[in-house]
Amino acid sequence: MSAVCCLCKPERWHDWRWQFRHRLRTIEQLGQVIKLTPEEEAALSQPNFVVGITPYFASLMDPEDPTCPIRRQAIPLAAEGASGPGTAADPLNEEGLSPVSRIIHRYPDRVVLLGTETCHTYCRHCTRRRRVGMVEKGLTRDELEGAVEYIAGRPEIRDVLISGGDPLTLANGQLDRILAKIRAVPHVEIIRIGTRAPVTNPYRITPDLVAVLKKYHPLWINVQFNHPKEITEASARACAALVDAGIPVGNQTVLLKGINDSVDVQKRLVQELLKLRIRPYYLYQCDLAKGIDHFRTPVARGIEIIEGLRGHTSGLAVPTFVIDAPGGGGKIPVSPQYVISQSPEKVVLRTYDGKIVEYPEPQF
């Protein structure tokens, strides 16, 4: 029941460039694959909402159900025009923490390098929507030089995260150049890439790409699966190719109202991820970015989800629930409370299934 059956999966369906070039962007294009609601049509005619959806990701949409989790992540609603109290274009003060173009330096030993503003599919919940999709172009030679110079001049930087946009929209040759320059800095220990390609354009993970990536080990990849519906044969194959190349793959889920804000959905998601050898890393509380207020859930919901996972399923499947501090303080872990009381003699705790236990402190 592929929504794109009217396109009859053209010959080049499995070619990531074909997917990228044929991103669905207009009412007319999307109207051919799903039954748009009047609200979706109204939002799609807003020129300031950047829309782009690979035919592959669109094929996962339920053509009849406007609450479909794939649809809600990719097709805008009028609510994106609202700016709720406390929201900001740049809620994490990334621009303020950018010492040179395309570098964000928030923590002592690691930086983010923004490789591009382009994505295979633009997420409606994008926290960087102030710039992502606005101009579809990767970093320039000069910007790369400047960023690498910044990293090379600071021996404390041992971890570089290439993010965006989606760095895996860049061509293999350009990625190779970027990775080579970063890897040439002796104090950079690990390189990480943040990408949604395995989710939104899994055909991007080609043998040629993998051959480029594995030259730069230790290299880690973080993906963003938000719903079990995103796990398909194609996305599973893409992740397997990465893991088989020795690249540890982690997952960062954004907690999204009406999409994945239940224990049931999250439990299915994390269990499916372990089957793909992907380690759930973070569960993010939705940021205060302008235009994504309608995705926010109460913080208590995230805590409840972690509580519903811890002990109830494999410990490996339990991500850390974090709130990225408004203003730019970094990610703050928020956990259910298992410690009931603490004294010099003992700690009183509760188990995952609600039993009270005492742990005596050492008395010497």
Ligand X SMILES: *Cc1c(COP(=O)(O)O)cnc(C)c1O
| Catalytic residue numbers, as ranges | 106-107, 110, 119, 123, 126, 128, 287, 324, 331
- Residue 104 binds ligand X, judged by CB under 6 A: yes
Nearer to ligand X among residue 77 and residue 161 (C-beta): 161
Work out how close the CB of 355 gets to ligand X at its nearest, in angstroms, rounded to a whole number.
Answer: 32
Nearer to ligand X among residue 30 and residue 168 (C-beta): 168
- Residue 296 binds ligand X, judged by CB under 6 A: no
Work out how close the CB of 259 gets to ligand X at its nearest, in angstroms, rounded to a whole number.
Answer: 21
Rounded distance, CA 277 to CA 273, Å?
6
Nearer to ligand X among residue 24 and residue 223 (C-beta): 223
Work out how close the CB of 71 gets to ligand X at its nearest, in angstroms, rounded to a whole number.
Answer: 28
Nearer to ligand X among residue 112 and residue 219 (C-beta): 112
User: What single string gives the DSSP state of each residue in 238-287?
Assistant: HHHHHHHTT--EEEEEEP-TTTT-SHHHHHHHHHHHHHTTEEEEEEEPPP
Nearer to ligand X among residue 107 and residue 338 (C-beta): 107
Span of 79-87, 99-107, 149-157, 301-309 interacting with ligand X by CB under 6 A: 99-107
Residue nearest to ligand X (CB): 106
Nearest CA-CA partner of 270 in 205, 320, 213: 320
Phi, psi of 173 (to 5 degrees): -60, -45
Nearer to ligand X among residue 44 and residue 161 (C-beta): 161
Q: Look-up: residue for tokens 């609200």?
A: 39
Q: Look-up: residue for tokens 């929504």?
A: 3
The number of helix segments (H) and strand segments (E) in the chain equals 12, 12
Report the residue from 106, 227, 267, 290 that binds ligand X according to the rule CB under 6 A: 106
Work out how close the CB of 106 gets to ligand X at its nearest, in angstroms, rounded to a whole number.
Answer: 4
Rounded distance, CA 324 to CA 311, Å?
25
Name 12's Cβ contacts closer than 8 Å, sequence gap at least 6. Answer: 18
Residues numbered 159-178 forming contacts with ligand X, rule: CB under 6 A: 161
Work out how close the CB of 320 gets to ligand X at its nearest, in angstroms, rounded to a whole number.
Answer: 9
- Residue 102 binds ligand X, judged by CB under 6 A: no
Work out how close the CB of 331 gets to ligand X at its nearest, in angstroms, rounded to a whole number.
Answer: 5
Nearest CA-CA partner of 332 in 344, 341, 321: 321
Name 177's Cβ contacts closer than 8 Å, sequence gap at least 6. Answer: 144
Report the residue from 158, 277, 279, 331 that binds ligand X according to the rule CB under 6 A: 331
Contact 157, 111 (CB under 8 A): yes
User: What is the size of the binding site for ligand X (CB under 6 A)?
Assistant: 7
Q: Look-up: residue for tokens 């929209």?
A: 169
DSSP 8-state symbol, 124: T
Span of 61-69, 105-113, 303-311, 346-354 interacting with ligand X by CB under 6 A: 105-113
- Distances from the Cα of 213 to the Cα of 16, 104, 172, 174, 356, angstroms: 17, 23, 9, 12, 49
Contact mark string toward ligand X, 46..75, x via CB under 6 A: ------------------------------
Span of 101-109, 128-136, 168-176, 307-315 interacting with ligand X by CB under 6 A: 101-109
Nearer to ligand X among residue 104 and residue 269 (C-beta): 104
Contact mark string toward ligand X, 107..126, x via CB under 6 A: x--x-x--------------
Work out how close the CB of 107 gets to ligand X at its nearest, in angstroms, rounded to a whole number.
Answer: 5
Q: Tell me the three state secondary structure of residue 11.
A: helix
Contact 220, 247 (CB under 8 A): yes
CA dihedral 125, 112, 195, 289 (to 10 degrees): 0
Positions that interact with ligand X (CB under 6 A): 104, 106-107, 110, 112, 161, 331
